[in-house]
Amino acid sequence: MAPTLFDVVAKPGDLIEILRGRFKHWAVYIGGNEVVHLIPPKNRVGAWDLDSSTAQVKRQMLCDVVDFYHFSINNLLDDEYTPRDGDSIVRDACSMVGMDLPYNVETCNCQHFALELRYGRPECRQSKMVERKTMEKQQLMERQIMERQRSGESRMASAESETDCMSEVKTAAVIGGVAIAGVALAVLGASLFSSKDDNKKRRHK
């Protein structure tokens, strides 16, 4: 059965939120189970061309717009702004049907269109959410890069410490060898001196 608004109480001027995968689509309910919304043209595979620079305002039956997606009434900014009266919203929405308007998936999309009709403010909360998530991902990547750099610096410091330690060991070994050689020479010298002294004593006798 095609989706309708008969199970919920919708009034002309209400905003309809349609969950279409990654992004949400927005339309303005004008009564009679009809909506007005801004949609970009379709691409070669039949999907909306989100890279298009223009979009058209259309008036359609809600069931045709929703298709098999979930939808709900969502006047999301009523707590922040005073909505315009329903008659004015419907009048302005219907007067724009058939118009080609500038379009950008981030800065001038269907939610901007719907919110401007209801509140007089062309905002897009889902664009802000995408921007926030993008910023969070960027910050996470930056933290990971910094951690890798710190880890690399730590490994380099450890390697340098090991090199210094080995150098100190080698130096100590050299010094030890020199000391041992010195002692050996001293012993040899003492032995030679003692031998010469004994020879002198024998000749004297």
Q: At 46, phi and psi to the nearest 5?
A: 90, 5
d(CA 57, CA 104): 14
- Please provide the CATH number assigned to the domain covering 15-129: 3.90.1720.10
- pLDDT for the residue 23: 81
Residue 50: how many CB atoms within 10 A of its CB? 14
Report the DSSP beta bridge partners of residue 18.
25, 71
Spatial contact of 94 and 36, defined as CB atoms under 8 Å apart:
yes
Annotated domain spans of the chain: 15-129
Q: Helices in the chain by DSSP H: which ranges? A: 62-66, 86-95, 110-119, 125-204
Comparing C-alpha atoms, which of 106, 103, 102 is closest to residue 133? 106
Dig out the tokens for 49 from the structure.
């061309």
d(CA 98, CA 16): 20
- pLDDT for the residue 185: 54
pLDDT means over runs of 10, the chain (205 residues) = 59 95 91 96 88 96 92 94 96 97 92 96 64 52 75 68 64 56 53 54 53
Look at the block and give the residue holding tokens 């001027």.
13
- pLDDT for the residue 10: 87
d(CA 114, CA 105): 14
Dig out the tokens for 196 from the structure.
């010469």
Dig out the tokens for 60 from the structure.
């359609």
d(CA 202, CA 198): 6
- pLDDT for the residue 35: 97
Look at the block and give the residue holding tokens 């401007």.
116
Active site (catalytic) residues: 25, 37, 110
